[in-house]
A and B are shown apart, each in its own frame.
Chain A
Amino acid sequence: MVVIMVTMASRSTAQRPNGSTQGKICQFKLVLLGESAVGKSSLVLRFVKGQFHEYQESTIGAAFLTQTVCLDDTTVKFEIWDTAGQERYHSLAPMYYRGAQAAIVVYDITNQDTFVRATTWVKELQRQASPNIVIALAGNKSDLGNKRVVEFDEAQTYADENGLLFMETSAKTAMNVNDIFLAIAKKLPKNEQTGSAGTSGQGRRLVEVEGQKTTTSNCCK
């Protein structure tokens, strides 16, 4: 069973989703990349808070959000860095994808340039980021299908060639938004986290939690 907690990111340890006696908490750093105005912030906002703003202000530098996803007996905690797409912030990106376990490269299906830019991001990630980073390609704004420029197959082919997860999403309709994050969560290695946590520094680590402590198990509110 897969449950997504729509509560704020920080509610985690003491609450067991299904009362399972054993559970792991994995923490992953995930970074969103892509041209400006392709809907990165909207995507994250939809995933984290379930909201959508028609006029999302443009991100300055980078924004930080967290969300916890329950996956079978594992709790996956995403630390999401939503980077700014504007060119002037490009120099910031390495700071965020360095040490990230997962990345979502977003493009706008109504804009061919954003797809081209997405491919360059993928290349940069493959070259510069950690070798076992999980990269997902998200074709956003799929609700604007009538203005589609980038064909699904084209993107799918590209994703397959590069070993990327691929989905077309819509932050507006919430289509595939949770799915793509879940897909990433599933693909992420959960048992050897300790090793990667050690290298990446910022307190990402695996915590064993004894089940018997739980007093209130009121998840899924």
Chain B
Amino acid sequence: MAENVLGSEIGFQDYHATEAIHLDIEELDDAEYAIPAVEEPPSLESILTELDSGSLSGTEDEFVTPAEILGGSETASVGSLLSLNSVSKPFRPSQSQSSSAILRHVILKGISSQISSASERINAGLASAMAAGGNMLVIGTSHGLILGFDSNQTLRWCDQEARHQGSVSALCFNHDGSRLLAGFARGHILMLESSSGKVLRTLTDVHPPGTAVLHVKFTDSPKLALCSDSGGSVFELNFTRVMGVRGCDSKCLFSGSRGEVCTLEPLLLNQLPTHSLKNYTLVAMATLSKVIVVSIRPRMRVVLTHALGGTAIAPPQVSWQLVVIQAADSTRVVDPVLALARDDAVHFYQVCTERNSRIRLSPLQRVTVSYMISNLRWLNARSLALLDTQEKLHLLDVRLQDELETLDLSRVGISYASSHFKGLSTGGNVSKAMALAGERACYNTVIAFGSQLLLLGTKSLHAVCIRTWTERLRHLTLQRRFPEALALGLSFYQDKGQAVVGLCGSKQRRKQIARDKVCDVLIQYMDDLNHCSVENCAEVVESCVNFCIQLENTDLLFGKLWELVCETDEFRGSYLRALEGPLLNGSLAPRLPPLISQQLVTLYEQEERLDSLQAIIVLLDVDCLDIHQVTKVCGQQGLWEALIYLQTSALSDFTAPIHQLMPVLQMALANARTQKLSPDKIRLGNAILVYASCCLAGRGFPRGNLPEGVTQRAKADVLRALLSQHSSSASDAERQYPYIRTLLEFDAKGFLDVITIAFQEPEFMSEMGLRQRQRLIDILLNIVLPTTPLSPDNYDYLTDEQRAVVLNFISNEVAESSVTLEAGALNRMVEMLSTVTNNSEDMSRDIEVEKENAILQLLHSKKLTNISDNCLLNLAHNANFLRVAETIYCGQEDWISVCRCMLTDKSRRYEVWEWLDCLPLDSLQAVVTAHAAELVTVDAARTAVLISNRMPNSLDNILQKMNEDPKLEYALLGALYQLIQYGEEDIKMELTTGILEKYLKLMCDLEPERVVQHLCGPHGCRLNEVLKIVQDINHTEAIALMLEKLGNYQEAFDLLLADLQSLFEMHCGGDIKSNKAIQATSELAALCRRAAGHLDWMPLVETVLHPYTENNIQKGESLQGKLLRIVLESLSGTTTLSTVLEQILKHPLATGGTIGDIRELLTGVLTHSCYDQTLVEASARLVSMELHEALKKSLRDAGKAFQNVCLYCPVCRRGLSQCTDYAVVFRCGHGYHISCIGDSKVCYQCLRTKGWAPTVTNSLPTTKRPPEKRKNQPPSLTTDRDLRLRLAPQILLPDFEGIF
């Protein structure tokens, strides 16, 4: 086929993989434009004979710039194609560079020139419609000509029969391209044989006359076609052939009166061999307001209606596309998808066949664009071409809803069908809406053919298609936009590309094809390096490396690319640096050719990127490394981890790292006595520790796992190496076990942690393992228990801290019974642990605690049975190991000592209470008595609780114990008092009067200011005693209080008055403030009030008004005024008003002398007086009311009759009637003989059953008469508003006589 020829010409092997329905796209031969114009217009026949010409001069001048002519000198070859692309760029200046890579725009110059020449020479008019099918392409012109072209753009035939029918308005091929339908502006429809152009049928009366044909469409069935006219109606054309005579029946499918159809599109399924929809004929029709999908065959049925709004001039669009849909169960279904659009919205519907073979259209999605759509065509299942009214073509990715590219097509000069819609050739009898919608209609001039879009201009034919992926790559490559090309290629390779055309096959195969292609591009890019300047080389090299890695092409990476870069230092540097990231993040396998890894190590060493270098070395496989080089570099630069890794993984020698690196650390530590350990050496030490830990725990270093079978050996080797008696190059001075000593010195805690972790391994649990443990412990013990004392200057001196840590570790092990120690060693160890070091400042508290813990552990695990308790106690006391001592005492049940230990330990003294709670009573008493003072010091309240709960009887003992310290005594008593008075729990204990008095006494001594408050509360003392006590300490207030309580008001008053006088004097002397005097006066006044009637308050007034001093009259007077006011105000209730007034008037001086002051004072006094009066009245009224209510009740009760429930007296068991004197019936209903009831006069039965009984109120026998009725009225005083005071007025007792 010609396509293949073209493909091979261009040089793409996979070009033919694109759809077979591609038209041959041939460029206009620019070189031939130079042919001069012919003077005489040739006839149509002559044009037809000019098969290859297309060489009419000047016809396309408006499309071809001089640059194009110059550039496109080659004939249809790659060159011309590309030159077209490159020169066509100036036409699209607005487009961004990167976006022009997907769509390819070509002019079909052969056809275009024929159109032009036809219009010029035979007056064919402008192109107005086209159709493509089979391997034919037909173009209709505005003067009714139909030109048929084959796939070589050669004009095959020309049909002029319908010149009178006006312009060709619609064209359509049937599915195999053998028949052609042509619709005309004046209403005729022709059926032609497409290969020859012969007219088979002329349909003149299939639709109403006077309307233009807008669409003619074949359906899948060869006998059925559809057409629509400018009246908006749709007709169904059934072709018949009876006896060799061709005919046609038409039937109106949709009348324009119900909505005018602008476009219709039948669903064509004949490409598919089988499909469940094959039996159906579906047509999508778009009217001006909605889209209707109907199934015509087998039955007429509406499947979908979808309202479609939008601007009036926006032509509605419908378009079908078969889409492969991958269902969830991985079956592939080919289902048609309908795209409908108007204005700026595109809707998608999928056709589904339901189980009952009904057709349903389900909505998929909706896309809104930013322009007005004038045409919509599918290019492939994922890509949609949208032409907007500005004649820009937009490529839309349906799945991602991304706009991939925009192409300006304004130079096409698209031929619009507006004249057909307006029905100009038939008199313009169309609706306004139709005419408006047809303004931008190009249904028959923009069509999709396979995966390309054909656009018919008035004088030219253009094709736009998506470039195949190779073409896109090549396009970018030729423009030397390599990074973009590679990124695009990578997206193909990773199956993420958009609008991919031409890449097919299985996924695996697609990947392979893409990879090969991209690699080719990459190679070109690499070749570019030779011309690349040094500045941007780093970037280029780096991207090359990255692409190689992402394409998983190590051959290219280590082969060609390396060869290119290895000669220039800069290139090589950036190459090697670019390897780091992928190596570390694992996207590149950790294998490099040895040469490259060698260079990498050299480079990184030079650039001192040591951390990265170490990471890379540790990562790489050993056989890629130049071990000699790397070992030396690591040794020099201190990459200890890498060094250890090399030795273990390459040589699988687990002892070498220890034997080689330990001496280094040893030396460093020896030097470190004078200066600090360098960070490098600290890293070394840590690396060794980690290494030892990894190996002993059976893990790989620095990560991962050891290979199978090596674990055992690694553990054994490392342990053996660590336990070496001497290092390989030992001096005579070296002591035994240098490595362990070194590690202990470096980081004792860390090292012991390593060993602890190792001991958890099963290897150390077996019998052999336990022996190993024992050995290790023995060695450690040997090291820390030197036979000869060592000075700090000595070579292997351990600090006390390190020693303590080790001893602690050992005791741990001993306590766990995993190792045993001889008694002697154990003794020495304990001694060692309990040695008090002289330089206590250096010894931090932690170490001591650790030591103590060690001994405790041993004690708890009962390992110290062969050391006598006394000996241990001595040691503990010397070392101040209180907990140890405590434990020992516990063992001896010497609770007093235990308690002492606890109390001595500041951090644990608060735990004593819980412990005490658990003690049995007898030992508790002893303990508390022994340590009473300390306990109270720690927490008096807790002690009080303890005493009150557990041992209330031994309080005296305890108090005796504390005799010498009244403060403690007082604290304890106070706590007890508080507890008993205010404690929430039930306290059974009570304090005796003696103790309370003692407490008061102590309080007087220690806290006199609390005494008054205490005495006001329930102090529980004898009043006389209290008085004595307070008199002893001469506490005026308290004495006065007690005197008052004893009823000795006068004395109390005198006392306070004396006090006040002294205060007064002091105030006048300026010693104290007036507050105190005021307070004292208030108190006095209060006393007077309380003792109302017992006291004469006049002395107080006298005192207040007594002129005391000469020197400070003013001050005294102001105070006097205040005091007097207080006195007068407070006394007004108890003294007659007249006396008060008299006093006020008598001492005008005290009130400041002014009438205003007096008025104020008087008002105050009167207010007080009024208040008191009201108070008295109110209470009197309340009392009277109460009394009245009670009376009323008893009267009512008395008026009720009672019945005795029993006819005999329960005492003598005889009938009540048989009485000698008279019978008594109680209110409860029980009756007795008066003689039987006795003197108590109560109801015995009620007394027995209820516990109480009514008594006889009036047992005098009366003559029986009805009680006189009395109306109960409230006493008059309750209503009386008389202000006279009437306390308890005489109320007549009601007459109870006659009740019985």
Give the B-binding residues of A (Cβ under 8 A).
9-14, 59-64, 66, 79, 81-82, 84, 88-89, 91-92, 95-96, 202-203, 205, 207
Contact = CB atoms under 8 A, between A and B. Distances in A.
A173 to B, nearest CB: 25
Interface of B: 554-555, 558-559, 563, 566-567, 591, 593-595, 598, 622-624, 626-629, 631-632, 646, 650-653
Given A91-B651, A203-B555, A62 B626 contact: yes
Contacts of B623: 95-96
A84 B651 CA distance: 12
Given A79-B595, A202-B593, A63 B627 contact: yes
B595 A63 contact: no
A88 B653 contact: yes
A203 B626 CA distance: 17
Nearest to B558: A203
A30 to B, nearest CB: 12
B595 A9 contact: yes
Contact of A203 (B593, B651, B652): B593
Given A95-B622, A203-B558, A205-B559, A63 B629 contact: yes
Given A10-B566, A91-B651, A92-B651, 19 more contacts: A9-B595, A10-B567, A11-B567, A13-B563, A61-B627, A61-B646, A61-B651, A63-B628, A79-B594, A79-B595, A81-B594, A82-B628, A84-B628, A89-B651, A92-B650, A95-B623, A202-B624, A203-B555, A205-B555
A10 B567 CA distance: 7
Contacts of A205: 555, 559
A63 B625 CA distance: 8
Which of B554, B558, B624, B650 neighbours the largest number of chain A CB atoms within 10 Å of its CB?
Answer: B650
A9 B628 CA distance: 18
A82 to B, nearest CB: 8
A187 B1080 CA distance: 130
Nearest 7 pairs of A and B residues by beta carbon: A61-B627, A63-B628, A64-B626, A64-B594, A60-B631, A10-B566, A203-B558
A79 B559 CA distance: 14
A60 B627 CA distance: 6
B654 to A, nearest CB: 13
B563 A12 contact: yes
6 contacts: A13-B563, A59-B628, A92-B627, A202-B594, A203-B593, A205-B555
B227 to A, nearest CB: 64
A62 B627 contact: yes
Nearest to B626: A64
A61 B623 CA distance: 10
Contact of A61 (B567, B595, B631): B631
Which of B623, B628, B631, B653 neighbours the largest number of chain A CB atoms within 10 Å of its CB?
Answer: B628
A207 B559 contact: yes
Given A79-B595, A203-B559, A203-B593, A63 B626 contact: yes
A126 B595 CA distance: 27
A64 B624 CA distance: 9
Contacts of B627: 60-63, 92
Nearest to B622: A95
A191 B563 CA distance: 22
A10 B595 CA distance: 9
Contact of B554 (A79, A82, A203): A203
A63 B630 CA distance: 9
A45 to B, nearest CB: 12
B873 to A, nearest CB: 58
A41 to B, nearest CB: 9
Contacts of B554: 203
A56 to B, nearest CB: 11
Contacts of B624: 202
Contacts of A81: 594
Nearest to B572: A10
A64 B629 contact: yes
Nearest to B623: A95
Given A79-B595, A88-B653, A91-B652, A61 B559 contact: no
A64 to B, nearest CB: 4
A96 B652 CA distance: 16
Contacts of B632: 60
Contacts of B629: 63-64
A60 B636 CA distance: 14
A93 B204 CA distance: 97
A16 to B, nearest CB: 14
A88 B651 contact: yes
Contacts of B563: 12-13
A12 B567 CA distance: 9
B253 to A, nearest CB: 69
Contacts of A207: 559
Contacts of A96: 623
Which of A10, A64, A92, A96 neighbours the largest number of chain B CB atoms within 10 Å of its CB?
Answer: A64
A219 to B, nearest CB: 13
Nearest to A58: B628
Nearest to A10: B566
B23 to A, nearest CB: 39
Contacts of B594: 64, 79, 81, 202
Contacts of B595: 9-10, 64, 66, 79
A89 B628 CA distance: 11
Contacts of B555: 203, 205
Contacts of A11: 567
Nearest to A95: B623
Nearest to A59: B628
Contacts of A88: 651, 653
Nearest to A25: B563
A181 B1177 CA distance: 139
A165 to B, nearest CB: 24
Contacts of A12: 563
A9 B627 CA distance: 19
Contacts of B591: 202
Which of B563, B593, B627, B629 neighbours the largest number of chain A CB atoms within 10 Å of its CB?
Answer: B627
Nearest to B592: A202
A61 B598 contact: no
A200 to B, nearest CB: 12
A92 B652 CA distance: 9
